[in-house]
Structure formats: C-alpha cells, structure tokens
Amino acid sequence: MLLLLFVQLGFHPKQATVHHLDEGTRSEVDISQDILNDVEVEISETVNKIMSRKFSKYPSPKKCSACDWSFFCTKKKRSKVKFIVSAHKVIKIIKWLFKLDP
C-alpha cells in the first residue's frame, strides 16, 4: 500500500525489496504495473466494503479498543459525534490517497 502512495505522489520505483530483519534476508517483490493495478483495485474494494459496513465483526473489548475501524462498527457502542468526525477524516484521507477530489 505504501508503494501505491509513492506512485500517486509521482515516484516510479524500478524495484522493491522486503528486508526480513529477524532472518537477515531480503526478497524481491514484483511491482509491475499489473500487480500495482490489482493491488489498487483490491484496496479500493476493501475500502468500499468497510465504508458500507460490509465486513465481518468479531467484537471483544480487547479487539475493539485497538481496532482502527471501530468507529464504523455497528457492534461497538460509541458516541455519534465521534463517529461523524472520525468517518469524515477517513473519507477525506481516502479521497486524497486515490485523488478522488479535483
């Protein structure tokens, strides 16, 4: 996902490598345009599902307290004001990432 952000910002990397620090190894990652397009579609579909609340919910106090998407969740109790502010911020960031605003 970070790679897509770099591409959106006008950078065009030629290669990508994942450094496995715990193992002391590296692996090359395919960043061809086909792969980037597939990832962008997958991210867009996932964001749309989250925004329309079409995702599995497995609530628990521990999970909900650490969940970045808890403000979208119908299983967690929250203030409506907090939900509106948080959802607005997320929508703004998503629009910026995908250049949906002119």
Q: What is the DSSP letter of 56?
A: -
Question: Residue 43 has which token pair?
Answer: 């991210």
Give the amino acid at 14.
K
Residues 38, 51 contacting (CB under 8 angstroms):
no
Assign 3-class secondary structure to 7-44: HHCCCCCCCEEEEECCCCEEEEECCCHHHHHHHHHHHH
Model confidence at 82: pLDDT above 60: no
> 54-64 in b/e burial notation, b at 16+ Cβ within 10 A?
eeeeeeeeeeb
As a residue count, the chain comes to 102
pTM for the predicted model, two decimal places: 0.47
Q: pLDDT digits over 64-73, tens only?
A: 777 777 766 7
Confidence of residue 31 (pLDDT cuts 50, 70, 90): confident
